[in-house]
Structure 1
Amino acid sequence: MDSNFELIREQQKVSWNAISEGWKKWDTMTMDFLKPIGDEIIRVIHPKNDDLVLDIASGTGEPGLTIATMVTNGRVVITDLADHMVDIARENAINKGLKNIETITCDACDLPFDDNTFDVISCRFGFMFFPDMLLAAKEMVRVLKPGGRIATSVWNTSDKNFWVTAIMGAINKNMQMPPAIAGAPGMFRCAEDGFMKDLFEEAGFKNISQTEIYGKLNCGTADMYWAFMNEVAGPVAAALCKADDALKAKIKSDVLDTIKQKYPEKVIAVDSNGLIIYAEK
């Protein structure tokens, strides 16, 4: 195991716990933003009524909560590394009246389940943040039943995800960011063409296919975009907490100018693009 594994895992846990309240606050906008990706994950795994489903890196609960409404004679186990996120997912399940949900805080690289347990695995935007992506993929192979289905999503290249680069570009322009730890998580870590296919093949998956899905972050205004990204995007929050008020104001001004130049219309919907990878055991 990589010597940086434990450090990366703890940094991820702290980071996602720190922004969990932001995710709760902006849950409606976030789930609307990510819904096309979740819908495609659900479409390709095609959950059956009695399936036992594992949703990994669930955050506030999706797409696991939606899947739970489809597997009324089955069950969905929702997991995340950040215990505060799991608490929110549990609260969301209760609010939706879902009884076939179980929530567990755990690491995707060390899943606390027996071999050949699950019919289906879903994992929306988790792989980029796992300390050891191959180990996580192998764990998923291990806990899937023979013939089991998996679908995951990762962000495509930066040029197709202005919703990230609009603000991170301004941060990188105005701040001297420390070099990342070797192999550290990042938004576009899995974007290279064929990366996830090769990873899944090495882990032992077969019948691998990939779909590209375009989306929009419907934030309404440039100011709303700024507020949303400050409270939901981990890398943004981590960077801006190191900036003083004057520097933060300069970055905000740059971001608002960038957004308004690209989207001069009054109602702003910022471009995104993700890849959905389907495979079988």
Structure 2
Amino acid sequence: MELEIEQIRDQQKETWNKFSPGWKKWDELTMDFLKPMGDEIIKLLNPKSDAIVLDVAAGTGEPGLTIASHLNGGKVISTDLAEGMLEVAQENAKKRGIKNFETIVCDVCELPFEDNTFDAVSCRFGFMFFPDMELAIKEMKRVLKPGGKIATAVWNIPDKNFWITATMETISKNIEITPPPPRAPGMFRCAKEGFMTDLFSQAGLKNVSAKEVTGKLNCKTTDVYWSLMNEVAAPVVAALSKADEALKQKIKTEVYSLVNERYPEGAVAIDSSALVIYGEK
């Protein structure tokens, strides 16, 4: 099992590094898309101005950068498996003049910090991809100070996330995709009601709660939507790599038709839904 977890972790690292240029290119659009979930995490954590905050699976820097910009005397340490993503985060910090922000490349299951180091831990859209979620939450709790807060966001059920299902379901109708094992990393792995709150409670966290937070992927046009999916969505790129040009074109045409049917006026702002889970040590 350990070998399997290590293989998944290495695959995740390779994938996110490969896609970091796409995330950099689309950073403004994707960060606008994910902002409501980050805002809810920040609201729940409500860090004091001198807080030391850990942001796990930080990607291109949010919500850690926004948290750091609110602190006075405190700082944010952002971690991620992929150095390519954290390089973008560092560039974003520099652009915004945020100096109380550090990045460390590491695995959530082996956090390089002493026990009881942080006042708060944030993790926006990381849990679905962690090879061992139980170990991940234990590590986050370990480095959290007594009374410290943790908040995370995961994607809700597919029916509430047309922004990804429009493409992935069209692909699966045209290409035979082997379903992943039940516990394998994936977009909707944590979507089942009660799954994340149970995980938090079983880790010994208190005052656990979950809240649905909605957002919109404001692409404006179907062309932008299709380009985005092909440059930041790893499952889309992996699936389409198995198709020849004719089949890719067929899938593209069907996706366009599906999106345009939903947004006939051409203002493509696609609904999304996430769950934000909170707990205290």
Question: Residue by residue, what CA displacement relative to the aligned partner does 1:20-48 show, whole Å, maximum 9, x if unpaired?
Answer: 10000000000100011111110111011
The amino acid of 2:145's aligned partner reads: K
Structure 1 equivalent of residue 4 of structure 2: 4
1:222 Cα shift? 1.1
Secondary structure of residue in 1 paired with 2:99: coil
1:13 Cα shift? 0.9
More displaced, 205-214 or 127-136? Answer: 205-214
The amino acid of 1:92's aligned partner reads: N
Structure 2 equivalent of residue 268 of structure 1: 268
The amino acid of 2:137's aligned partner reads: A
Structure 2 equivalent of residue 202 of structure 1: 202
The 2-side partners of 1:172 and 1:198 are apart by 31
1:181 Cα shift? 4.2
More displaced, 171-180 or 145-154? Answer: 171-180
Structure 2 equivalent of residue 256 of structure 1: 256
Structure 2 equivalent of residue 277 of structure 1: 277
The 1-side partners of 2:202 and 2:2 are apart by 17
Structure 1 residue ranges, 4+ long, deviating more than 6 angstroms after superposition: none
The 2-side partners of 1:3 and 1:18 are apart by 22
Structure 2 equivalent of residue 234 of structure 1: 234
Secondary structure of residue in 2 paired with 1:190: coil
More displaced, 61-70 or 227-236? Answer: 227-236
The 1-side partners of 2:106 and 2:2 are apart by 19
Question: Residue by residue, what CA displacement relative to the aligned partner does 1:27-76 show, whole Å, maximum 9, x if unpaired?
Answer: 00001000111111101110110000000011000000000011121010
Q: Matches of residues 141-152 of structure 1 in structure 2 within 5 Å? A: 141-152=141-152
1:241 Cα shift? 2.3
Question: Residue by residue, what CA displacement relative to the aligned partner does 1:215-268 show, whole Å, maximum 9, x if unpaired?
Answer: 110001111111011111121122222222112111111100110111111211
Structure 2 equivalent of residue 122 of structure 1: 122
The amino acid of 1:218's aligned partner reads: N
Question: Residue by residue, what CA displacement relative to the aligned partner does 1:138-185 show, whole Å, maximum 9, x if unpaired?
Answer: 000100000000100000000000001000001111111134245211
The amino acid of 1:117's aligned partner reads: T
Question: Residue by residue, what CA displacement relative to the aligned partner does 1:166-216 show, whole Å, maximum 9, x if unpaired?
Answer: 000011111111342452111000000000011011112111011111111
Structure 2 equivalent of residue 64 of structure 1: 64
The 1-side partners of 2:237 and 2:47 are apart by 35
Question: Residue by residue, what CA displacement relative to the aligned partner does 1:88-147 show, whole Å, maximum 9, x if unpaired?
Answer: 111111111111011001111111111000000000000000000010000001000000
Structure 2 equivalent of residue 224 of structure 1: 224
The 1-side partners of 2:60 and 2:34 are apart by 12
Structure 1 equivalent of residue 16 of structure 2: 16
Structure 2 equivalent of residue 78 of structure 1: 78
Identity of aligned residues (%): 62
More displaced, 258-267 or 146-155? Answer: 258-267
The amino acid of 2:150's aligned partner reads: I
TM-score, normalised relative to structure 2 = 0.98
Structure 1 equivalent of residue 40 of structure 2: 40
Secondary structure of residue in 1 paired with 2:32: helix
The 2-side partners of 1:182 and 1:155 are apart by 16
The 2-side partners of 1:224 and 1:17 are apart by 22
Secondary structure of residue in 2 paired with 1:243: coil
Structure 1 equivalent of residue 184 of structure 2: 184
Secondary structure of residue in 1 paired with 2:66: helix
Secondary structure of residue in 2 paired with 1:4: helix
The 1-side partners of 2:56 and 2:182 are apart by 24
Asked if residue 102 in structure 1 is aligned to residue 102 in structure 2, the reply is: yes
The amino acid of 2:113's aligned partner reads: F
Structure 2 equivalent of residue 133 of structure 1: 133
Secondary structure of residue in 1 paired with 2:109: coil
The amino acid of 1:222's aligned partner reads: T
TM-score, normalised relative to structure 1 = 0.98
Q: Which runs of 5+ in 1 are unaligned?
A: none
